[in-house]
Amino acid sequence: MMSRAVKHQQYMSDKPFKLLKEYQYAHTAVIELLHVNDTPDPQLVYLYGPSGCGKTALISSILLEFAVIHPELSFKLTTASEFAAKYAAASANNRIPAFQRKFRSLDLLVLEDVQSLANRVQTQRELISLLDEIIKQGGRVLLSSTNPPGELTHFEKKLVNRFHGGVCALISPLKYQSRLELLDFWANFEQIPIQKKELSLIAHKKALSPRELYALLIQLQTVSRINQQRIDTQFVKQYLEGNIETPRTSISKISKAVCREFKTNLQEIRSANRSQQIVLPRQCAMFLSRELTNEPLAKIAIYFNRKNHSTVIHAYRQIQSDLKKSPGLRQQVSRIKQRLGVYLF
């Protein structure tokens, strides 16, 4: 089985990666894990840091290079939640041997947001066996989490020991200078007309994560364009103080942004199609329509061709629940809000 990087573009960051001081140790650890030609020692790297600190961006920036350097090796990038869901489905359908063959034959497993496996005893035990098998055959394992191994609660001790057996690398929150460097880097990349002194005001605002900093910068650009104002010192100060109203959106705009993120179309999400590939973006569009507009539930239901507003309520509650369990979905919703220019801080 050969899992190529091009098959994982939905996981890859759509922004270039900036190597900052806070990333240096983690970056070196991942580079050594993925780029050596022989079996690396150790064969497991465990990255940890707060949500939005840049773990996924760092991993994504190196994975494409890995595919070029090691075209003969198979790898898979997935989240722990997705891994658990696939294991549960395999168990329910009596297909665990096939599930095991698929994962244990990998040369590299990249498993993100390991903390989401808390309390999932059977999945944790399966992961222990999987890690042992991959490492036994000379493979590599790259894990990420919001918590260091020692602070993972409701985890099997053997699994925590496996994590401790590798290189554990912290990605700490960005300090002011790094926040400023990153804002300047992204402003140049997005061709946003903003000067260094205004970027400094944003960097000083507070210790926002890289994801939040990018969202703030994009929203600032959107507000500036809509209000037809230059992004000067006065404008940035007013924006940061909440004295400039953020742009309003609509059910239609939200739905189009959702379709772009999930690579579907309006006709599909407004149809009666009940496949999971359509149900999820439809529920996301309903969720965001309720969260970001003042439209009544009945009007949202009508837009999506539903018989009554109870469907919207169900969708809202479902996405609320899923967002707590799925970091991948949280990132997708964040990207949609960024495109709409209504990212809330």
Global pTM value = 0.74
| The residue count for the chain | 345
Closest CA to 345 of 196, 249, 239: 239
Instruction: Answer whether residue 305 shows pLDDT above 70.
Output: yes
Q: What is the pLDDT of residues 222-255, one digit of tens each?
A: 788 777 889 999 999 988 887 777 667 899 999 9
**Domain 251-340 is of which CATH architecture?**
Orthogonal Bundle (1.10)
- Own/partner contacts of 293-301, CB < 8 Å, gap of 24 or more, are 293/248, 293/249, 293/250, 293/251, 293/254, 295/251, 299/251, 300/251
Q: SS3 letters for the chain?
A: CCCCHHHHCCCCCCCCCCCCHHHHHHHHHHHHHHHCCCCCCCCEEEEECCCCCCHHHHHHHHHHHHHHHCCCCCEEEEEHHHHHHHHHHHHHCCCHHHHHHHHHCCCEEEEECHHHHCCCHHHHHHHHHHHHHHHHCCCEEEEEECCCHHHCCCCCHHHHHHHHCCEEEECCCCCHHHHHHHHHHHHHHHCCCCCHHHHHHHHHHCCCCHHHHHHHHHHHHHHHHHHCCCCCHHHHHHHHCCCCCCCCCCHHHHHHHHHHHHCCCHHHHCCCCCCHHHHHHHHHHHHHHHHHCCCCHHHHHHHCCCCCCHHHHHHHHHHHHHHHHCHHHHHHHHHHHHHHCCCCC
Query: Which residue intervals of the chain bear CATH 3.40.50.300?
Result: 5-170
pLDDT at position 343 is: 57
Instruction: Answer whether residue 136 shows pLDDT above 50.
Output: yes
Q: SS3 letters for 164-227?
A: HCCEEEECCCCCHHHHHHHHHHHHHHHCCCCCHHHHHHHHHHCCCCHHHHHHHHHHHHHHHHHH
Q: In which band, very low, low, confident or very high, does the pLDDT at 6 lie, cut at 50, 70 and 90?
A: very low
CATH topology of domain 176-240: Helicase, Ruva Protein; domain 3 (1.10.8)
CB-CB contact of 240 with 205 (8 Å): yes
| CA dist., res. 340 & res. 283, Å (int) | 17
CATH for 5-170 (3.30.1330.60, 3.30.300.280, 3.40.50.10540, 3.40.50.300): 3.40.50.300
Angle at 144 between CA 68 and CA 12, to 5 degrees: 45
Instruction: Answer whether residue 160 shows pLDDT above 80.
Output: yes
| CA dist., res. 225 & res. 134, Å (int) | 51
How many other C-beta atoms lie within 10 A of the C-beta of residue 192? Answer: 16
Query: Which residue intervals of the chain bear CATH 1.10.8?
Result: 176-240
Q: What is the pLDDT of residues 60-106, one digit of tens each?
A: 889 888 888 888 889 999 888 889 989 998 999 999 999 999 999 99
CB-CB contact of 108 with 140 (8 Å): yes
Phi, then psi, of 163 in degrees rounded to 5: -65, -45
Least confident of 42-56, 263-277, 317-331: 317-331
